[in-house]
Amino acid sequence: MLSEVAGFPDGGFVVKGGISSGKSSSTGDDNLYGFDARGRRLWTVQGNNYQDPNGLGFPKDVAVTTDGKIAVLDNIRKTVQLLDRAGKHLRTIDLTKAWGRKPNYPSEIAADVDGGFVVEDFGGRPMLVRMKADGTVRAGVDPKFFDGRAFDVHDLGVAPDGRLWVTDGHALLRLSAEGVVDRVLGEAYDARGSARPAA
């Protein structure tokens, strides 16, 4: 099962997926694979490796930063591991220490400007944490509509101009520096009623 992919500017890419197996015969999609622009596999990093503090544990998401590093989000360890282009471990950022609080459920990572990255902490406050390349916090953002209503982020990305874009599952939403939606592409939020009545 291949669940996440992140690309390099030259067409190479890294994939999270496959079957990991070890002494416990556990399975999952915890491996990372590096490919060149022609789709040839160059390297594999085995996941589910908790014995090695620098080993790949349980990767939830992966991103390629603007300075060419591979950022791997581990929501069990609450860390971001940075790897080089060849899959070699460079360093590990402990999100609890970096944020000064315990993360709730880090669920997504995206490349930010200047080699940094953004981590979505589902159910946490702030929900989106923008981090610099050195692992320090640049800003925290709680997305909300113009009327103050909060919403869950389904996916996120950073535009070349540094603006955060997210989706609530209905539309693409651009956020201001304060986290307020200032542009909507798609179905606009309507404060008069629910978009998805369920019962």
Summarize pLDDT for 18-28 with one digit per residue, the tens: 654 555 544 55
Q: What pLDDT score was predicted for residue 140?
A: 97
The answer to whether 156 and 163 have CB atoms below 8 angstroms apart is no
In the numeric block, which tokens belong to residue 64? 């390629």
Lookup: tokens for 73: 């989000």
Q: Say what the pLDDT of residue 25 is.
A: 45
Asked if residue 198 has pLDDT above 80, the reply is no
Q: Which residue has the tokens 């790897």?
A: 83
pLDDT for 54 equals 84
The whole-number average pLDDT for the span 92-102 is: 97
Q: What is the phi/psi pair of residue 64, to 5°?
A: -110, 120
| CA separation for the pair 79, 174 (Å, rounded) | 27
**Res 197 pLDDT > 80:** no
- Per-domain residue ranges for the chain? 2-142
Q: Which two tokens stand for residue 126?
A: 């702030």
In this prediction, residue 52 carries a pLDDT of: 85
What is the reported pLDDT for 188? 66
H-helix or E-strand containing 14?
strand 13-17
The CATH number given to 2-142 is 2.120.10.30
Predicted TM-score (pTM) of the model is: 0.87
One-letter amino acid of 110: A
Per-residue burial over 78-89, b = 16 or more CB atoms within 10 Å of its CB, e = otherwise: bbbbbbebebeb
Give residue-wise pLDDT tens across range 61-84.
999 999 999 999 999 999 999 999
* 107-165 confidence digits (pLDDT tens): 999 999 999 999 999 999 999 999 999 999 999 999 999 999 999 999 999 999 999 99
pLDDT in tens, 158-188: 999 999 999 998 899 999 999 999 999 987 6
| pLDDT, position 57 | 87
pLDDT on residue 53: 80
Cα–Cα distance for residue pair 130/177, rounded to 1 Å: 11
Sign (positive or negative) of CA dihedral 154, 179, 131, 70: positive
